[in-house]
Amino acid sequence: MLEARNVAFLADAMLGNIARKLRIFGFDTVYMAQAHDDEILKIGIEQDRVILTADKELFKRIVKVGGRGVLVSGGASELEDLVHILTKNGITSVGMNGIGSRCSVCNGHLEERTSDQVKNDDRNNDDVIVPDKVIACHNQFFQCIACSKIYWEGGHLKRIRALVRNLDAKLVGRDCTTTTTSCYRASSVSKG
């Protein structure tokens, strides 16, 4: 279930939905909703993160200082934007292994919990309560070690898995049209 991804991202203010999706897939993704471009550049480079932006001027600055970045359309299609970001980073498959490893709200790591640990009883305080009806029909839970949010297998994860299958199909199509093995190193990070 828990898998470390080897690419880390930093998404700028316009790309909150993209950032949440990347976290759900298991990618270490910082989202900076209110930061100045200078700060985004600084943190991206210091932490060796691929900076995702829809801002052409910021992207030019990333290239100029030798940082890693991907210029994202930030509009038309979230699926196409994700395909573009992953392709630019040489990722030819997202897979299901990273799902459930990161908190979509804060990027913290998730740890597995038993139903007893997330039950609403005297041992727990109010912010870690899972409704009884959820406890009754689920036996696998995850909790963010940073913000304490609790996750369980729900309808939205089915949609996420469908999205990943869709993405992976497109990623394969993108890089492997003529070969089967070279696609794994066909794409490198955009340098401009």
**Residue whose CB is less far from Zn ion, 42 or 149:** 149
Q: Which is closer to Zn ion, CB of 1 or CB of 147?
A: 147
Query: What residues have CB less than 8 Å from 85, skipping those under 6 apart?
Result: 9, 18, 22, 50, 52, 70, 72
Those residues whose C-beta lies under 8 Å from the C-beta of residue 182, and which sit 6 or more positions away, are: none
The tokens describing 178, both together, are 């003529």
Q: Which is nearer to Zn ion, 122 or 127 (CB)?
A: 127
Structure tokens at 139: 């036996």
Nearer to Zn ion, 14 or 105 (CB): 105
How far is C-alpha 172 from the geometric centre of its chain's CA atoms?
19
CB of 31 vs Zn ion, minimal distance in Å = 12
Q: In angstroms, what is the minimal distance from the CB of 144 to Zn ion?
A: 3
Q: CB of 46: closest distance to Zn ion in angstroms?
A: 22
Min dist. Cβ of residue 102 to Zn ion (A): 8
Give me the least distance between CB of 150 and Zn ion, in Å please. 10
Of 54 and 160, nearer to Zn ion (C-beta) is: 160
Residue type, 190: S
Residue 29: CB partners within 8 Å, gap ≥ 6?
8, 9, 10, 11, 19, 22, 23, 102, 107
Residues forming the site for Zn ion (CB under 5 A): 103, 105-106, 108, 144, 146-147, 149
Cβ atoms < 10 Å from Cβ of 108: 17
